Structures are given as C-alpha cells and as structure tokens.
Amino acid sequence: MAQFAIIRMQKFQVSDVQGIQKHNQRQGTSKSNPDIDYSKTEQNYDLLNDQNLKYESEIKEKISEQVKRKPRANSVVLSEFMVTASPEYMNALSVEEQKKI
C-alpha cells in the first residue's frame, strides 16, 4: 500500500482563536461531530508546551513584544500546521518516533 505525507496549513484571525483553542485542547463537546472519541483525548499531545495555553493572551503578548501598532481586526494572527502520514507508515512507528516526525 502507498505511503504518503500530509501537511495542512490554515490561517486564522483573532476572532477564530478561541474556537481553535477549544478544538485543539478538546475543551467542551462537539454537537456537530458525533464521531469524536473523547476516550482518546489523553493520547493528544502538544510538541512545544507541557500544559494547555490560553491562545488569545499568548498571541496578544507575542504581538505586543514585536509590533508597535495594534494589528487590524482582520489580520492573520495564527497559522496552524498539521503534519501526518498514511496510517500504514504511522502505525509502524512507536509513539516516541511519531513525535519526532
């Protein structure tokens, strides 16, 4: 079977940040997607941070450190990247090897 990589990038404005945080950190339950298996939430991991972050305050802090003016309301403030591979490839790796990809 073919092995392939998937890389997805999506840009978000400040109005989207709270929803993205809730989605990424599995805060609350989804009414629109009944297929989510919440028993697997503990398997989720953040490659950069040991604990959950408050995205909006982190973003505003980073922007204020680097930009002198307030960004426009429709400015892109967050870019999300998801990197994964075909199930055949990923299942052949240990969890630690998957985190290094």
**What span, in angstroms and rounded, lies between the C-alpha atoms of 52 and 91?**
26
- 35 in a structural domain: no
Q: What CATH number should be reported for the domain holding residue 92?
A: 3.30.930.30
- 36 in a structural domain: no
Higher pLDDT, residue 101 or 72: 72
pLDDT value, residue 16: 94
Task: Determine contact, residues 9/80, Cβ cutoff 8 Å.
Answer: yes
pLDDT value, residue 42: 82
- The radius of gyration computed from the CA coordinates of the chain, to the nearest angstrom, equals 17
- 12 in a structural domain: yes
Tell me the residue range of the domain where 66 lies: 5-30+43-100
pTM of the model: 0.72
